[in-house]
């Protein structure tokens, strides 16, 4: 079951980052939109212990994170090229 609860988002962020950063490296900084669930995780001790910190996008700017928005557009374009029929995307395909 997928939801947007505090713990679920925290666990998802940890799982997302675990393979992307070295254990003894600097904090992973995740840019995210100013949704209430993300704002609640900004100073979350569990994330900070995992060396993950959140940076909230600009509230008044409609395009809160232009770099991420562009990356998402590029990913969508590539997925449409790889799987024109659509459907679920495997972790291998995302890699």
Q: How far apart are the two ends of the chain, measured CA to CA in Å? A: 24
Provide the pLDDT for residue 62.
61
Provide the pLDDT for residue 2.
64
- Measured CA to CA, the distance from residue 15 to residue 19 in angstroms comes to 8
Q: Which two tokens stand for residue 84?
A: 């024109």
- Measured CA to CA, the distance from residue 6 to residue 41 in angstroms comes to 7
Provide the pLDDT for residue 6.
79
Query: What pairs with residue 31 in β-bridges?
Result: 55
Provide the pLDDT for residue 7.
85
Closest to 12 in 3D by CA, of 27, 32, 59, 77: 32
Residue-by-residue pLDDT tens, the chain, 95 positions = 467 777 888 998 888 888 877 778 888 888 887 888 888 999 999 999 999 999 887 666 666 667 777 888 998 999 999 888 888 888 888 77
Provide the pLDDT for residue 45.
94
């Amino acid at each position: 079951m997928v939801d947007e609860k505090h713990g679920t988002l925290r666990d998802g962020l940890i799982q997302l980052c675990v393979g992307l950063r070295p254990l003894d490296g600097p904090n992973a900084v995740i840019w995210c939109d100013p949704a209430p669930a993300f704002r609640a995780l900004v100073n979350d001790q569990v994330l900070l212990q995992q060396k993950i910190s959140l940076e909230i996008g600009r509230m008044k700017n409609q395009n809160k994170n232009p770099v991420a928005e562009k990356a998402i557009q590029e990913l969508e374009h590539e997925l449409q090229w790889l799987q024109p029929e659509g459907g679920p995307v495997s972790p291998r395909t995302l890699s």
